[in-house]
Structure 1
Amino acid sequence: MSGIDWSILLLTLGFIVGYGVWKTRAVTTAHEYIKGDEKTPWWAIGLSVMATQASAITFLSTPGQAYFSGMGFVQFYFGLPLAIVIICLVFIPLYKKLKVYTAYEYLESRFDRKTRVLTAVLFLIQRGLATGITIYAPSIVLSVVLGWPLIWLNICVGVLVIIYTVSGGTKAVTVTQKQQMAVIFAGMFTAFLIIYWSLPADITLTKAFSLAKANDKIDLINTSFDLKNRYTIWTGLIGGTFLMLSYFGTDQSQVQRYLSSKSVQESQLGLLFNALLKVPMQFFILFVGVMVFIFYQFNEAPLSFNPEVEKAMMNSSESSAYTTLKKEKTALENSKKAIYTAYNETKNEINLKSQLQLVNSKLKVNRETSIALIKQVAPNVESNDKDYVFIHFILHHLPKGLIGLLLAVILSAAMSSTASELNALATTTVVDLYQPNVKEPKKGSALMNLTKLTTLIWGAIAILVACIAPLFDNLIQLVNIIGSIFYGNILGIFLIAFFFKRITSNAVFIAALITQVIIVGVYFGDYLPFLWLNALGCLLVIFLAFFINLFKSNKFATS
């Protein structure tokens, strides 16, 4: 990277951290530290909610997902608008009426303390793991840029976020996320424009769209009922709705964002603002990934986007085999360029697609063969390069200055989501686990200091998770898988609390424990795509609680 790139990157991140610390220097009460000043306007809430969800994983993994698999991933978000409407009508009025600090406080008043603690623990497990992944993702970026070991980068990124999160709590998270979202939007639009301007002169946006469509990258809707397909309209509308209901309605990292508003209406407007922008934003990020794919149809792409693979393979005994695969890939890509040239003359889209399907099938075999060879020769090097696609493009094809801006985008996203998560983890630990279970609960400055210490501890745990987290199939999928294993169960507990007044606390507690064991078994048994785990967990805990409650009632009635 050039000096100007480093300057832009460091100035952007330094400003965000410094601004967060300075703006919240007057936070002196536990109430303000945990809940903010409860004066956050609706638009700031909307941006804060969006920034919490849009982690570095979004900007690292989503373009790579689109590059290899197309834009079908957008179906994952189709359930979001419906979920937000339900949350606005049911969840928010109740939370604001009860003036709770966390979502789980309500469960004690409805059921009992053990149910509250169990639900809080389930949240802490899944969010603690996910927070480690959100730190790990930007560390990958910096490891590529700097060549530093991942473990040290995990520590650096984690400490950077901890500084202002510990300093100002909820208020620090909220005030910095506005700047972070501004950087994110500016950077992604700039990247899109640079990609478009870098295409050949005769490739218009319409023609780029046609080429993407011919390569099966613009298939937005999949109506298949095949449960092996992860992303269909059914998984998005059904599984996605359950996931979004649980995430935005019961996950403290999100609930804490809109609890900082001054009224129910401000919270509702903030969430609706997020719902209106979120799906278009994800569509745009995916389309940026598709545009990167189109860019590499006219520019040479590496056999693997992970630079460590090239080093390992060229220094191995199978370097000649790897070189042969690279030459084969180049020849196939040249064949595609010839097909595109012929298409410019004939405009025959049907013929274009049939020819591309044949070449793409050969490219798929070439990729699978190379991945198998990498795993055989260098098993410790990550062969799955989806998360490296966008960063490779940034580092090799953006002009000076913009590299620093795009890296600032990724790191800003990491900081915004990680800060929210650490803030929520600390709040839940103190409010739901510590305070109700000690003889003399902390008050005033002692409570604020305890929350700061807990934030620091969770930061250290998240860094530890980041240091031991392996790359999965795709980072954005890993985070959603972790959530799906726990979210359905948590959502079911809340729905019972809202709508099934006759079901008792013991029935819910037992049902939740059984459900969690079953969901873990279903996932590791690979019986369902992970999005369906949200619906299964939610419905399962409701049905089990209902029948356990019915059994107990009948038992007492007959005794």
Structure 2
Amino acid sequence: MSIIDWVVLFFTILLIIAFGLYKSKGIKNIDDYIVGNREMPWYNVGFSVMATQASAITFLSAPGLAYSSGLSFVQFYFGLPLAMIVLCITFVPIFHRLKVYTAYEFLEKRFDTNTRVLTAILFLIQRGVSTGITIFAPSIILSSILHLDVTYTTLIIGSLVILYTTWGGTKAVSYTQLLQMSIIIGALLIAGIMVIKLLPNQIGLNEALHIAGKSGKTNAIDWSFDLNNQYTVWTGLIGGFFLQLSYFGTDQSQVGRYLTGSSIRDSRMGLLMNGLLKIPMQFSILLIGILVFAYYQFHTPPLFFNNVEIDKIENSIYKEEYSQIMVKHELISQQKAVLAQQLTNALKANNEKLIESSTIELQHKNKEDSHLRKELELLLKKNNPNAELNDNNYVFLSFVTSTFPKGLIGLLIAVIFLASMGATASAINSLSSTTVIDIYKRFVNKDGSDKGYLNASRLFTFFWGIISLLVAIYASQLGNLLEAVNILGSLFYGTILGIFLVAFYFKSIGGKAAFWAAVISEIIVFSIWKADIMAYLWLNLLGCISVITIGFLLQLFSKSKISAV
């Protein structure tokens, strides 16, 4: 990166941190620290909710996922607007009326202490691990740019986020996320325009999409009903609905965002804003990945996007074999460029015969390149048995740093940092809130002072930051980070959602039945996942239905037993 890029990067990050610290001054108690004194307007709630979900993983992994697999991932979000409507009708008014700090306080009022603690622990495990992944994502950037081991860069970025979050609390998180999302949306718009401008002359957005489409990358909609297919309309509408309903309705990292709303109306408006904007935003991010794919049909792409692994192979005994592979790759790329231009001309002339032949030849060359990629992967493994072969997370980063002008590179990298800071800060803050409210204040120190609880909140924020940082160090083994986070969520969210739905709608089911139904359901979900019987999004539906069904049967059995006595 140039000096200008470094200046832009550091200035943007320092601006966010300074703004957050300024807005968080005067925090005196846990009401300020955990729920921001419940005074945020609807647009602040909306941007905060969006920023919490749109982590650095979104901006790193999504374009890479689109580059390799197409637009199908957008279907993952189809259930989101429906989930927002349900939340606005049910969850929001209940949480506001009870004046809770965390979502899990409600469960003790409805069931018992055991169910509250179990649900809080499930959340702490899931969110603690996934927060580690969100810390790891931006560390990839520094690793690639500075050619440092990813472990060191993980420690650098993680420490920065932990210190900022420990001091700032929810008020700082919410205000900084408002500024972060404004910068992020603007930078993404610029990035999309830049990708189109970098395409060859006479190749615009329409032509680029046609080329990507002929290569099978614009597969945004899949109506098939296949339990093993990760991304279809049905997995998004049904499995995605239950995942989003659980995430936004029961995950404290999100519940804590709209608990800061100054009224039920402000919280509802913020959630509806998220429901309306999330799918277009995610589609735009994936579209950038598609355009990057089209760009590389006319230019030679890296055969492997992780520069750290490439540096290792270039300085090894296998460098000659690597060079031979790259010579073949360069030749294929040149041939692809000719075919892509030929296909573009055929599309403009509406020459169906030439379109078909050009498409087949271009697809054939892409397959040849894929075979070369397999050869390189084998070579990378020979050189380093622990080499990570999934490089989706590096695709967009590599493209930006190699093609964008000075200054804009720094801004785009700053966007990824800002997204990580927003998502990580709210996650660590929610882990601390749950620990303090649902465990420490409930069982350890019931009659503490405001100052004592504030100090405990900061201490647990720091503690969970360290735990998340340790998880982040091992996150490189998880493949595509976006999928890893969603798979992890699907293992827990269905069960947690089931508990809350039982609490809201099944008044006949008591605490003991709900507790054991949750334990049994979690065992079922993990067993199904390990057996690889269905796509992970369906696990959300499975967990939810299992809790409700098993809870009903256990309660029925309990009543029958009492009647028999």
TM interval, shorter chain, is: over 0.9
Instruction: Give the C-alpha shift of residue 350 in structure 1.
Output: 3.5
Q: What does residue 302 of structure 1 align with?
A: 302
Report whether the alignment pairs 1:62 with 2:97: no
Q: What does residue 249 of structure 2 align with?
A: 249
Q: What does residue 362 of structure 2 align with?
A: 356
Distance 1:375 1:514 in 2: 40
Q: What does residue 390 of structure 2 align with?
A: 384
Q: What does residue 145 of structure 2 align with?
A: 145
Letter in 1 for 2:50: M
Q: Could you report, residue by residue, the CA deviation over 1:174-232 in whole angstroms, capped at 9, with x for unpaired residues?
A: 01111111221122111111111111111011111111111111111112223332111
Q: What does residue 520 of structure 1 align with?
A: 526
Distance 2:133 2:344 in 1: 44
Letter in 2 for 1:48: S
Partner SS for 1:220:
coil
Distance 2:96 2:76 in 1: 29
Q: For 2:461, which of 445, 450, 455 is the aligned residue?
A: 455
Unaligned runs of 5+ in 1: none
Kept in 1: contact 2:343–2:359 (CA 8 A): no
Partner SS for 1:470:
helix
Q: What does residue 209 of structure 1 align with?
A: 209
Q: What does residue 333 of structure 1 align with?
A: 333
Q: What does residue 12 of structure 1 align with?
A: 12
Distance 1:439 1:203 in 2: 66
**Superposed counterparts of 1:112-511, under 5 Å:** 112-347=112-347, 348=352, 349-438=355-444, 440-511=446-517
TM-score by length of 2: 0.96
CA RMSD of aligned residues (A): 1.4
Letter in 2 for 1:525: A
The alignment-based identity, stated in percent, is 47
Instruction: Give the C-alpha shift of residue 152 in structure 1.
Output: 2.6
Runs ≥4 residues deviating over 4 A: none
Distance 1:373 1:431 in 2: 52
Q: Could you report, residue by residue, the CA deviation over 1:312-339 in whole angstroms, capped at 9, with x for unpaired residues?
A: 2233343333333323333332222222
Kept in 2: contact 1:164–1:172 (CA 8 A): no
Kept in 1: contact 2:143–2:308 (CA 8 A): no
Q: Check 1:314–1:158 CA distance in 2 against 1; reply closer, same or farther (3 A cut).
A: closer
Q: What does residue 543 of structure 1 align with?
A: 549
Unaligned runs of 5+ in 2: none
Q: Check 1:344–1:291 CA distance in 2 against 1; reply closer, same or farther (3 A cut).
A: closer
Instruction: Give the C-alpha shift of residue 148 in structure 1.
Output: 2.6
Distance 1:175 1:439 in 2: 31
Distance 2:521 2:422 in 1: 32
Instruction: Give the C-alpha shift of residue 504 in structure 1.
Output: 1.1
Kept in 2: contact 1:25–1:167 (CA 8 A): no
Instruction: Give the C-alpha shift of residue 491 in structure 1.
Output: 0.3
Instruction: Give the C-alpha shift of residue 233 in structure 1.
Output: 1.0
Instruction: Give the C-alpha shift of residue 439 in structure 1.
Output: 5.6
Distance 2:316 2:550 in 1: 56
Distance 1:29 1:228 in 2: 49
Distance 2:148 2:121 in 1: 35
Q: Higher mean Cα deviation, 395-404 or 469-478?
A: 469-478
Partner SS for 1:37:
helix
Q: Higher mean Cα deviation, 71-80 or 28-37?
A: 28-37
Q: What does residue 108 of structure 2 align with?
A: 108
Q: Could you report, residue by residue, the CA deviation over 1:439-476 in whole angstroms, capped at 9, with x for unpaired residues?
A: 63323111111111111111111111112223323000
Q: Could you report, residue by residue, the CA deviation over 1:358-394 in whole angstroms, capped at 9, with x for unpaired residues?
A: 2333333332332233223322222211111011111
Distance 2:158 2:317 in 1: 38
Distance 1:116 1:4 in 2: 51
Kept in 2: contact 1:510–1:545 (CA 8 A): yes
